[in-house]
Amino acid sequence: MKALVYDAPKQFSVKEIPTPEPKAGEVRIKVLMTGVCGTDIHLHNGTFIGKYPLIPGHEMVGIIDKLGEGVNDEYTHFHVGQQVTMNGNFACGECESCKNGKPLFCEQLTCLGCNGDGAYAEYMVVPKKLVYDAEGIDPELVVFTEPLACTVHGMDVLQPKVGSDILLIGAGPTSAMFAQLLIHGGAGNVTVAASKEFKLKLLKEYGVNDTLLIDRSDSKKTAEILKKHRPNGYDIVIDATGAPSIQELCTGLVKKGGTVMFYGVGKQNSPIKLDAYDVFERELTIKGSFAQVNSFAGALAMLRSGRIRTDGLITHKFKLEEWQEVLNTHASDSSAHKLVVIP
């Protein structure tokens, strides 16, 4: 089979490698489509939890092609030809965090597509516990299951009070889904600020109340625009940019008793300035949300019901061999929203 293989950060090629055989309890999936994620770019640059050599790709939809021995029992009913997706994140179950009921903080968290082989390949072998039925849903929707599951976890962490006035900064594909979850979760008003007009326009169609065009590279001007929109502050501000210059603005944009959430994947070892006295005096709450391990079922339910819209998000489709173009498009094509690879 063909697969995109990274021998080390930045050193990739599309190779012909043996098609993997499913062992007992495993399922082989023929990959239909894999979503390109910011994480893939971090893996390209070697700035994430990657283990090389690596086949990246963790946002996948495919068709079961072969069942390993003993896959089906009284709880599991998979069949060849079934459309599925896979949750690539799984915890060891043995470390202190796992034993404390916090699998996301597992010291040996496996993420297929980050530190184990993923879905930029024609086939992928996955333990059955990670496979989710996705029959009857458009594959172009199913490919969003993983990023949507991450936002579902974000909602679980945020627990917004019904009626909250919320600002979300950033309008990438994940933000587009997070904004809709906030609306369905009872937000009083959702404002999204971002630097691409076409992304904001799409969010208006998805039901966002207010959109603000900002220039992320000019944080002073951005602060002015956001403050002018709500001189008394928001109840909740979510940073989905990961940019330190934007993260630094967040506590100054919330009301007394407000909450800031850092959701965007930022740069490691890039501390920001924070006015601790302001956090103390105004009793602010700061939260973080990183990945997910058990939010797939909820995400699939919302995609199946049409509760979460993704129409208009996929702007570019590539073949495996076009990986360099994927990287170029992600870096510099201003019309790019969600990119997908069809192996």
Residues that bind Zn ion (CB under 5 A): 37, 39, 91-92, 95, 98, 106
In angstroms, the CA 38 to CA 47 distance is 11
In degrees, rounded to 5, the angle at the alpha carbon of residue 38 between the alpha carbons of residues 106 and 2 is 90
What does the DSSP 8-state code read for residue 122? Answer: S
Cα radius of gyration rounded to whole Å, the chain: 20
> Which CB sits closer to Zn ion, 92 or 274?
92
Q: How far is the CB of 186 from Zn ion (least distance, A)?
A: 26
Name the 3-class secondary structure at 128. Answer: helix
Question: What b/e string do you get for 232-254 counting C-beta neighbours within 10 Å, with b at 16 or more?
Answer: ebbbbbbbbbbbeebbbbbbebb
Task: Residue 245: name the closest of 213, 267, 230, 277 by CA.
Answer: 267
For residue 83, give the H/E element and its range.
strand 83-86
In angstroms, the CA 227 to CA 232 distance is 8
> Which CB sits closer to Zn ion, 95 or 274?
95
* Token representation of residue 179: 């904004």
> Which CB sits closer to Zn ion, 43 or 131?
43
Q: How far is the CB of 287 from Zn ion (least distance, A)?
A: 20
Q: How far is the CB of 291 from Zn ion (least distance, A)?
A: 8
In angstroms, the CA 285 to CA 192 distance is 20
> Which CB sits closer to Zn ion, 106 or 339?
106
Report the phi/psi class of residue 238: left, alpha or beta, with left for phi > 0 and alpha for psi in -120 to 50: beta
In angstroms, the CA 13 to CA 7 distance is 8
> Which CB sits closer to Zn ion, 94 or 275?
94
- Residue 79 contacts residue 64 (beta carbons within 8 Å): yes
> Which CB sits closer to Zn ion, 104 or 236?
104
* Token representation of residue 82: 């079934």
Q: How far is the CB of 138 from Zn ion (least distance, A)?
A: 19
Q: How far is the CB of 105 from Zn ion (least distance, A)?
A: 8
> Which CB sits closer to Zn ion, 33 or 253?
33
Q: How far is the CB of 104 from Zn ion (least distance, A)?
A: 10
Q: How far is the CB of 111 from Zn ion (least distance, A)?
A: 10
In degrees, rounded to 5, the angle at the alpha carbon of residue 240 between the alpha carbons of residues 236 and 242 is 120
> Which CB sits closer to Zn ion, 61 or 226?
61
Q: How far is the CB of 67 from Zn ion (least distance, A)?
A: 27
What does the DSSP 8-state code read for residue 104? Answer: G
